Amino acid sequence: MSTVRIPPVLRAQTGDLKAVEVDGATVGAVLQALVERFPGLREQLLGPDGDLHRFVNVYINDQDVRYLDALATPVAPSDTITVLPAMAGGA
Partner 1 sequence: MASPAPEAPGPAAGRYASIEEAIGHTPLVELARLAPRPNVRLLAKLEGVNPTGSVKDRIARAMLDDLEASGRLRSDSLLLEPTSGNTGIALAMLARRRGHRLAVVLPDNVTEERRRLLRLFGAGIIDSPGELGTNGAVALAQRLAADDPRFVMPYQYGNPANPRAHYETTGPEILAACPEVDVFVAGLGTGGTLMGVGRRLREANPAVQIVAAEPRPGEQVQGLRSMEEGFVPEVFDPAALDGRYLVSNVDAIAMVRRLADEEGVLGGVSSGAALAVALRVAAELERGTIVVLLADGGWKYLSDELWTRDLGELSSDAEARNWW
Q: Which residues bind to partner 1, rule: CB under 8 A?
A: 7-10, 44-45, 53-56, 59, 62-64, 66-67, 82, 84-91
Task: Provide, rounded to whole angstroms, the least separation between the CB of residue 51 and partner 1.
Answer: 14
| Nearer residue to partner 1 within complex by CB, 76 or 88 | 88
**What is the biggest distance separating any 2 CA atoms in the chain, rounded to whole angstroms?**
38
Task: Provide, rounded to whole angstroms, the least separation between the CB of residue 43 and partner 1.
Answer: 9
**Strand ranges, E, within 1-91:** 2-5, 19-22, 56-60, 63-64, 80-85
| Nearer residue to partner 1 within complex by CB, 13 or 28 | 13
Task: Provide, rounded to whole angstroms, the least separation between the CB of residue 64 and partner 1.
Answer: 4
Closest listed residue to residue 25, CA positions, set 74, 59, 64: 74
| Nearer residue to partner 1 within complex by CB, 50 or 85 | 85
